[in-house]
Amino acid sequence: MLLYVALGLLVHLVFFASIFDIYFTSPLVHGMTPRFTPLPPPAKRLMLFVADGLRADKLYELDEDGNSRAPFLRNVIMNEGSWGISHTHVPTESRPGHVAIIAGFYEDVSAVAKGWKENPVEFDSLLNETRYTWSWGSPDILAMFAKGDSGNHIFTDSYDASSEDFGAHDVTKLDTWVFDHVKEFFHAARNNQSLLSKLNGDRIVFFLHLLGIDTNGHAHRPTSREYSDNIKLVDKELKEIEATVKDFYGNDGKTAFVFTADHGMTDWGSHGAGHPLETCTPFIAWGAGIRLPQKVSAQNFDDSYLQEWKLENWKRQDINQADVAPLMAALIGVPFPLNSVGIIPVDMLNTSDLFKAESMFTNAVQILEQFKVKMTQKKEATLSFLFTPFKSLSDTKQANILRKARYYIKQKKYDEAVSLCRELIDLALRGLAYYHTYDRLFLASNVVLGFVGWISYASLLIIKSHCNLTRGVSTEAKNPSRLLPYTFVAIGLFVALLLLIQACPWTYYVYCLLPLPIWYAVLREIPVIQGFVTVLLTFRPWCFLGYLLLFILGVEVLVLSFFYRYMLTAGLVAFAAWPLITPLWTRAKRTSLSWILFCFLLAVFPLLPVVGREPDIFLVVGAGLLVLLLSLFAVTSVIKRSDSFINEELVLHLLQMLSIVLSVCVVYGTHKSLLEKQGLPLLNQIVSWTILASSFVTPLLSPPVLFDRLFSILLASMSTYLLLSTGCEALFPLVLSCLMFVWIHMEQETLQQSAVSCKQKVSTIQFACNTDMTQCRDLYLDDIRRAFFLVFFLVTAFFGTGNIASVNSFDPSSVYCFLTVFSPFKMGALIMWKILIPFVLVMCAFEAVQLTTQLSSKSLFLMVINISDIMALHFFFLIKDYGSWLDIGTSISHYVIVMSMTIFMVFLNCLAQMLTTKKLSLCGRPKSHVT
Ligand SMILES: [Zn+2]
Ligand SMILES: [Zn+2]
């Protein structure tokens, strides 16, 4: 058994990790030479302002009174500079946003795996190419670009990480801190000769990172006064900074200014996904080398922003976020960041046409060079007869285009040169993508081969050890050929040799060789397969086909529910009809009725919106009261059952009820205190953490009698869940567990109606007898339904209250009872636990179902894994790396969720087993179970 678990876990981990090799590989290459425009640049220095988390619309739009929140920047748009929307890529997080702005490439998701804390790979940035950079802001962001600074030319000045307090009185201090330090810096520089001489050089960047708006957005949402006021403050300070700098340099007209944001923010104060509110950020540039506003009468855009913002007559020039990097590099005349894939927006430049054409030419050469390096790398790593080059951009074509562009520049046909270079860049980028995804098909087919092999193997295991199907078949079926192992070893050696010649990374060996042992294990079981087929042939074809169709339909509903949550509602409604079409309805009317009722109640949750809900603390309080009401019933039954009035069980129950009451009070108190801006009271914080810690212990103290233990688990997890809730999701685990309780009864009923004898009454079953299960029975078709129910309930546990967007987007408001200081790991862990609680409830209930129906947990578990593996295979094929960024992100998340669900299930199964069977004693003496 342990071997199977280990093997299964290994197989799943490999499949899970494979997408990081297939889809999320680092796009960076190394070994290019720096390229810069060989003409004097328009600016000597550049000031870059990044307002973290600033949405484009909140900056550009006018407020209710028709006034701009940012009068200074609006004046810049109308009289001094160029403007537009900078479109970011997913994930819309601070780190990838800043990398795109400053280093000019889109950080791939492989960086996620490395936590985004440190640079997963070395990369070149604009700041790296400057003579000197001074930067102010958050330590996380500044450290990213100062790392590896060899010549000591990037200077950082940042505040303490712990001052990023979400609940603190006024987070605009994060911004005023930066502005004050910048002013102070220029003031002090006047009397500091060495600093003064540094400041008077060229190729200088000042980088101001402004975290206040993001922090205010998380804490109060972007529609709040706080967010707007923060924008006003930044705008006012920008004006002063501009004046300070201009004054410092005696209005020499050699300073360029760039204002943008790393990402936007949703209305509910989160970012990370691909909603337009998150991906549209403002971009405004002015000063040296930047074109003055262009008046236009009509502009064509798909959106209606221009009318909303009353900016129809000022030419809007949208850019991609990575385009900012080459623009800034050209302005101050430093080499383009080596891995930049940005295309310089030449229309924004206020320079000679020659400069524009030369910059574009440099840009094309720089991107082409990445293409060449990537191609060489791939070519060297592939056997020459297997190598298929990118056909649209051959060596001769590159040379031709470059020669032609040079010729145009010489002939002063600058526009032609620019458009030709743009064409070349386009081809080079497509070629880069081609080589980046070169091995994808090969790796993907290997992974799928292994996956299908594993599913077949798991099915064979179930059939072999737990079905009477094969018993009737003669066991004399011929043994598999002796040649089989040799054949597999030979294939393995051949594959390994091929990989060795091509110097493939070690992970490739894993993907290519793993299918071999799996398929060997499958083919070794040929007699079982033959037996199974013989039995299948005895079935009536229509009956068999009907079951097969039902199974496929069920899996498809599950897959669709990832895209449309209302499919879960449809599924639950279908579940509600289940007792009606079976004899259950006549046998157990009350159980059936409650089953129908709770199915319908639970079916409501997937229809509720998941994001953008206003917090409703009264629903949380209501959920707490409902739990208390339920537990009162339980207490009365405990009192009735036991002989003495006061016993250990009762004390435990009362303690757990107390923790629910405390949770409700803490949630209410914290909510009120945060509304009044008094931060999180320390007492609330202590109580919250205590409840969380105790919730892991209290269920273990309760007697392992089936319903007592389950109820104790429900109370413990509910008290934590209430603390982590902000609205109607608080009711979800409650309704879910009610349905689970009924489910246990229903399964008991189905068992009584089938031939299996049932010895025990459900209320007396103890969890402990799980370990000595000897009366395992054979599997029936009904067990496939049970396995399917479990998978369905697990998916419901996840999508009942959330969807991909709510997982991707980071909404800190639900952990405010525990902490308000930004701490991604603690917050992430708490939110993770909140997502896991419904899973734990379902798994514990399933543990009970296994027990009451005397199922072999191993085969049932294998069936469950098989169903989710079939789903995972679906999502593996549905992974996209094209289309909108939202589609890409979502498709990846689906796969990740379904794979981690499978891997988690092993973990959850252990957790559920522990929660249900372990028993701690309060007073240290072994306690006799009450039965
Ligand atoms: Zn950010
Ligand atoms: Zn943020």
Say how far apart CA 931 and CA 641 lie, in whole Å.
Answer: 9
Above 70 in pLDDT, residue 810? no
Flag the least confident range among 26-40, 143-157, 215-229, 475-489. 475-489
Residue 91, preceding bond cis, omega within 30 degrees? yes
Above 60 in pLDDT, residue 805? no
Residue 407 makes CB contacts below 8 A (sequence gap 6+) with none
660-682: average pLDDT = 84
Q: Distance from the CA of 852 to the center of ligand 1, in angstroms?
A: 51
Say how far apart CA 252 and CA 248 lie, in whole Å.
Answer: 9
What the block records as the tokens of 157 is 């000045």
Say how far apart CA 446 and CA 513 lie, in whole Å.
Answer: 9
What per-residue confidence (pLDDT) applies to 925? 43
Flag the least confident range among 126-140, 245-259, 629-643, 834-848. 629-643
Above 70 in pLDDT, residue 912? yes
Residue that is written with structure tokens 């246990």 in the block: 744
Range among 639-653, 703-717, 804-818 rated most confident: 703-717
Above 80 in pLDDT, residue 774? no
Q: Distance from the CA of 326 to the center of ligand 2, in angstroms?
A: 25
Share of the chain above pLDDT 90, in %: 33
Say how far apart CA 909 and CA 914 lie, in whole Å.
Answer: 8
Above 50 in pLDDT, residue 931? no
What per-residue confidence (pLDDT) applies to 196? 93
Please report which helix (H) or strand (E) contains residue 134, including its range: strand 132-137
The model's confidence at residue 926, banded by pLDDT at 50, 70 and 90, is very low
Residue that is written with structure tokens 């386009």 in the block: 426
Q: Distance from the CA of 168 to the center of ligand 2, in angstroms?
A: 16
What per-residue confidence (pLDDT) applies to 163? 64
Q: Distance from the CA of 106 to the center of ligand 2, in angstroms?
A: 18
Q: Distance from the CA of 809 to the center of ligand 2, in angstroms?
A: 10
Above 90 in pLDDT, residue 397? yes
Say how far apart CA 500 and CA 484 lie, in whole Å.
Answer: 24
What per-residue confidence (pLDDT) applies to 927? 40
Q: Distance from the CA of 271 to the center of ligand 2, in angstroms?
A: 6
What per-residue confidence (pLDDT) applies to 930? 36
Above 90 in pLDDT, residue 853? no
What per-residue confidence (pLDDT) applies to 164? 61
Contact assessment for residue 237 and residue 176, using Cβ atoms and an 8 Å cutoff: yes
Using the 8-state DSSP alphabet, how is residue 165 labeled?
B
Q: Distance from the CA of 348 to the center of ligand 1, in angstroms?
A: 25
Cross-sheet strand order for the sheet of 204-210: 154-158, 132-137, 204-210, 45-51, 255-260, 280-287, 81-87, 319-320
Contact assessment for residue 65 and residue 390, using Cβ atoms and an 8 Å cutoff: no
Q: Where are the alpha helices (DSSP H) in 525-565?
A: 526-538, 541-563
Q: Distance from the CA of 611 to the center of ligand 2, in angstroms?
A: 17
What per-residue confidence (pLDDT) applies to 773? 46
Q: Which amino acid is at 702?
A: S
What per-residue confidence (pLDDT) applies to 643? 59
878-892: average pLDDT = 66
Q: Distance from the CA of 93 to the center of ligand 1, in angstroms?
A: 5
Q: Distance from the CA of 23 to the center of ligand 1, in angstroms?
A: 25
Flag the least confident range among 38-42, 94-98, 615-619, 711-715. 615-619
Flag the least confident range among 203-207, 727-731, 857-861. 857-861
192-207: average pLDDT = 93
Say how far apart CA 901 and CA 872 lie, in whole Å.
Answer: 10
Q: Distance from the CA of 804 to the center of ligand 1, in angstroms?
A: 20
Please report which helix (H) or strand (E) contains residue 122, including its range: none
What the block records as the tokens of 232 is 């006003």
Question: What are the DSSP E strand ranges found in 812-883?
Answer: none
What per-residue confidence (pLDDT) applies to 116? 45
Q: Distance from the CA of 225 to the center of ligand 1, in angstroms?
A: 20
Contact assessment for residue 280 and residue 87, using Cβ atoms and an 8 Å cutoff: yes
Flag the least confident range among 76-90, 269-283, 407-421, 752-766. 752-766
Above 60 in pLDDT, residue 156? yes
The model's confidence at residue 284, banded by pLDDT at 50, 70 and 90, is very high
Above 70 in pLDDT, residue 73? yes
Contact assessment for residue 310 and residue 68, using Cβ atoms and an 8 Å cutoff: no
Q: Distance from the CA of 380 to the center of ligand 2, in angstroms?
A: 42
Q: Residue 54: nearest ligand to its CA?
A: 1
Q: Residue 98: nearest ligand to its CA?
A: 1
Q: Where are the alpha helices (DSSP H) in 381-439?
A: 395-410, 414-436
Q: Bigger pLDDT: 615 or 388?
A: 388
* pTM reported for the whole predicted model: 0.74
3-state DSSP assignment of residue 205 = strand
What per-residue confidence (pLDDT) applies to 739? 92
Q: Which residues surround ligand 1, an ion (CB under 5 A)?
A: 52-53, 94, 214, 262
Q: Distance from the CA of 37 to the center of ligand 2, in angstroms?
A: 36
What per-residue confidence (pLDDT) applies to 636? 79
